Amino acid sequence: GAVVSQHPSWVICKSGTSVKIECRSLDFQATTMFWYRQFPKQSLMLMATSNEGSKATYEQGVEKDKFLINHASLTLSTLTVTSAHPEDSSFYICSARDHGTDTQYFGPGTRLTVL
């Protein structure tokens, strides 16, 4: 199946710093990518829908100024957690929509720990 990568796989940062997470579709072009976060022992919660060349669409309750999303190319979307705080610690997972198979493929996730 299609491959989606995320970088880094894990990151530890100090409170107040910003962290950028990359999501890449390796063998297909993705006009639409999605960002999720998953708290321990919980399901995935959609944060935002990222569309290539346009602004992201954020879900209710997600601060767009805190979670900056950029989808500058058909294979790359980035999520920047600005001024991170301990409560932002979570598992962040991206997915990319393969229009050819009409299926979303998920990245392996990035574990963010804010100290």
> Smaller CB distance to other proteins: residue 30 or 81?
30
Nearest CA to 37 out of 87, 1, 74, 97 is that of: 87
| Minimum gap (Å) between residue 97 Cβ and other proteins | 5
The torsion angles phi and psi of 56, rounded to 5 degrees, stand at -75, 155
| Minimum gap (Å) between residue 83 Cβ and other proteins | 26
Residues composing the chain = 115
Residues near other proteins (CB under 8 A) are 1, 6, 32, 34, 42-44, 46, 49, 93, 95, 97, 102-109, 111
DSSP state letter for 53 = T
> Smaller CB distance to other proteins: residue 75 or 95?
95
| Minimum gap (Å) between residue 34 Cβ and other proteins | 7
Beta bridge partners of 96: 33, 105
